[in-house]
Amino acid sequence: MEKNWDVIRYEAAAAILPNRLRKLALALPEEQKAAAEEFRLRAGRPMTVLLPEGELPLEAEVDPAELETLCDLATEFSRYAAAETLREGFVPVRGGFRLGLCGTAVMKGGMNTNLKNLSSAAIRIARERKGVGTDLAPRLFRDGVFRSTLILSPPGGGKTTLLRDLVRCVSEGVGGTPALRVSLVDERGEVAVMYRGQPQMDVGSRTDVLDACPKALGIPIVLRAMNPQVIAVDEITARADLRAVVMAAGCGVGLLATIHAADTAELLQRPLYRDLLAEGVFQQAVCIATSEGKRTYRMEELPC
């Protein structure tokens, strides 16, 4: 019998684990493998698998040496090559996974330059959902013109997954829409999941990715360097992000972005997002709701 794709992704993520922990992870039932979202490792505590209902402890306490081994495996025994992201607390891993790390920060000149004495780790089991944006993609356009759009949901609601597929759709021209040049400013490396210059996720053939760069700095960079028709970013959270998207909109570029919020009513309760809507940068929003494990997508016009 052919394996479920979600199970295959789970087992590929488990391959990053040290041998003893890998065996425990692979022993889970198929239905739990398919639903798992992360592996969580904490020194001196049982390794857990994050499921929709919460963390499931496995019968093995994590030895601190296993965290060091995990980091070596994830970086292919070249931590120096991963230094740029490691000092930010994460490592992109071949295959489209992301390892988050905690430990003791090594400070120099007021900046963190490395992590030592690793204490915790999280392996995000990234999964593509190709096609989730196919029906929505034509609704991002009106009379052939892209409309700047926000993607809204509470944390864990699938914003990044939908953003990734909409970037692919806009870049490829899915559903009869024009194929546009997209610049993706992937600050946390979770959308394209770059590994040595190549996206591990399909973000489309006309998409240029600026990885591991803050949005407020990255948006002006791609505007100058890549001549985008659309700029995509994950999670607008700060006023500097707001200023950057307003500047981009003033240059005639379309925008596709995510925000933690259930709907536009919740946006209007927060001063930063009230100001964002007042700028008139975004014309519409896709609101994601989850019910009985299924996600639905609703389009809303944004107030001018």
CB 245 within 8 A of CB 214: no
Fold of 5-124: Beta-Lactamase (3.30.450)
Q: Looking at the predicted structure, is the pLDDT value of residue 292 above 80? A: no
What per-residue confidence (pLDDT) applies to 163? Answer: 97
Q: Does domain 137-301 have CATH number 3.40.50.300?
A: yes
At 129 the pLDDT is 83
Q: How many secondary structure helices (H) and strands (E) does the chain include?
A: 10, 17
Q: In this predicted structure, what is the pLDDT of residue 19?
A: 96
What is the pLDDT at residue 193? 82
Percent over 90 (pLDDT), the chain: 65
Residue 216: both structure tokens together: 């407020």
Q: Is the pLDDT of residue 2 over 60?
A: no
How high is the pLDDT of residue 65?
96
Q: What is the pLDDT of residues 35-70, one digit of tens each?
A: 998 999 999 999 999 998 889 999 889 999 999 999
pTM here is: 0.76
Q: Which pLDDT does position 96 carry in this prediction? A: 74
Per-residue confidence (pLDDT) for residue 217, from 0 to 100 = 95
| Average pLDDT over the chain, rounded to an integer | 91
Nearest partner of 162 among 10, 296, 276, judged by Cα: 296
| Whether the predicted pLDDT of 283 surpasses 60 | yes
Instruction: Reply yes or no on whether the pLDDT at 5 is more than 70.
Output: yes
Q: Give, in order, the Cα–Cα distances in Å from 233 to each of 27, 102, 303.
A: 37, 25, 21
- Per-residue confidence band for 244, with pLDDT thresholds at 50, 70 and 90: very high
Tell me the CA distances in angstroms from 234 to 41, 45, 107, 167, 278, one per residue in order: 26, 32, 28, 11, 20
Arithmetic mean of pLDDT, 163-172: 97
Per-residue pLDDT, 81: 79
- Lowest average pLDDT, out of 194-208, 225-239, 273-287, goes to 194-208
Q: What residues form DSSP beta bridges with 49? A: 39, 56
Q: What is the pLDDT of residue 304?
A: 67
Work out the average pLDDT over 255-277. Answer: 92
Percent of the chain having pLDDT more than 70? 98
Calpha distance 187→12 (Å, rounded): 24
> Which candidate, 207, 155, 206, 170, places its Cα nearest to that of 186?
207
**CB-CB contact of 194 with 219 (8 Å):** no
Indicate whether 249 pLDDT > 90: yes
Average pLDDT over residues 78-89: 82
pLDDT digits (tens, 9 = 90+) for 98-134: 899 999 988 788 777 778 899 999 998 877 788 999 9
pLDDT the model gives residue 93? 85
* Residue type (1 letter), 36: A
Residue keyed to tokens 């053939």: 205
Q: Domain-by-domain residue ranges, the chain?
A: 5-124, 137-301
